[in-house]
Chains A and B, each alone.
Chain A
């Protein structure tokens, strides 16, 4: 009885809970009769417990930013759109017989969507005003409330410049902007290095709500969404993941304003 051999594989299956209950009970009984083997099993279990305990803290560490799955998804969506639009532009140029010229991105697959129109207006305004080193805004940071009142009146929608807080982008001021769909609000921000971020607000009555989307027009990246009949776009020359975070911050503030 004492020499009843236990297959090595059963010992480990016992340790790892891989045995059916009756076989596990058999092993437990056999181990009681064979202290040397029992000691070895105890050693293996101690190894396992020490490994778990020793490595447990790694799983509790804060995740490095490169492992942010949501940011990775946002980045990939943006890249895919860029690739597709580039391919579509090439195809169109080819179909036009090499006519070349300017291709309005996003207008290649049927009628333009609300989101596409929004993004084009937002990015067009960003390109014009953010590039203006001397007068990017109509009303400066000191007239924040005047600007909010002015823009709210013209948009017939209450809106105030969001606070970008610790993101490094400081509020510079804003202006009323023109679009084919009517007046829009444009709020401008700048960081230490002089890079500019704009927040674009355009009333779009009847437009359906959308999630945040990375948009790309003529080399400029934005993050756009439509919520309760108002279109929003954040444009800044930063990586997609960062842009997505900035947009999220803006969205939260607009959510609490309405």
Chain B
């Protein structure tokens, strides 16, 4: 039966540290504190970066992150502590990504990652770096999704192998072998041979 007209977790989220409003029963269950929400909020830029790098389409990526946040709010009552919030969010997003990819056969043309911040200051000080970054992006786009996501989670988002394994729902050994294969393919693609930084003439 109906117990009340609100979700105590969300109620508290909205009112922060203030006491519950008088028209609500005192919440009968423990709920995620403001700390979990603060951590979710702090993770949004990284979630979005990962989604954009994975999907290479900003609109789709923003939709994916939005869905992820909505799902996280749905499941907020399952979070009792603040640990692992980031990995938990990445896991939710990964699951959404997988189910959406399965549902949809054709994907819109991916956009280049750097189209919108080609001129970002300090991003690419040299022509050499610019070429390397471009090759890297292309290489990343050509990788199987499972290798791309491991590389992004570990290299860019700083997840530990254990966290990446949790996010992707695979054993740690699988994370490591995908990482090794993906990195090696990227190395071949970007022509990283000889000394670094890369010297390459087009």
Contacts and interface: CB of A to CB of B under 8 A. Distances in A.
Interface of A: 8-9, 11-13, 16, 18, 39-40, 42-44, 46-48, 50-61, 63-64, 66-67, 69-70, 72-74, 76-77, 80-81, 84-85, 87-88, 91, 109, 113-116, 207-213
Contacts of B183: 12, 44, 47
- Give the top 4 A-B pairs by smallest Cβ distance, nearest first: A113-B23, A211-B15, A84-B5, A59-B45
Contacts of B6: 77, 80-81, 84
Interface centre among A60, A85, A116 (most CB of B within 10 A): A60
Interface stretch (B66-74, B78-86, B90-98, B101-109): B66-74
Given A59-B46, A77-B6, A43 B196 contact: yes
A60 B45 contact: yes
Contacts of B170: none
B154 to A, nearest CB: 6
A8 to B, nearest CB: 5
Contacts of A50: 129, 132-133, 136
Interface in B15-31: 15-16, 18, 21-23
A67 B72 CA distance: 13
B167 interface: no
B142 interface: no
A70 B37 CA distance: 9
Given A48-B155, A109-B5, A114 B23 contact: yes
Nearest to B152: A51
Given A54-B136, A55-B156, A73-B13, 6 more contacts: A16-B179, A48-B155, A61-B117, A74-B14, A113-B23, A208-B21
A43 B187 contact: yes
Given A58-B49, A81-B5, A211-B15, A67 B180 contact: no
Chain B contact patch, size range: 35 or more
Nearest to B37: A69
Contact of B22 (A12, A18, A210): A210
A137 B140 CA distance: 62
B48 A58 contact: yes
Contact of B65 (A61, A67, A109): A67
Contacts of B129: 50
B120 interface: yes
Given A44-B187, A52-B155, A73-B13, A208 B22 contact: yes
B75 interface: no
A208 B18 CA distance: 11
A58 B117 contact: yes
Given A50-B133, A52-B156, A57-B120, A12 B176 contact: yes
19 contacts: A12-B180, A39-B195, A40-B187, A43-B187, A43-B196, A44-B183, A46-B132, A47-B155, A58-B49, A59-B45, A67-B66, A69-B44, A80-B10, A84-B4, A88-B2, A207-B22, A211-B14, A211-B16, A212-B14
B145 interface: no
B37 A209 contact: no
A204 to B, nearest CB: 11
Contact of B133 (A13, A54, A72, A74): A54
A43 B10 CA distance: 47
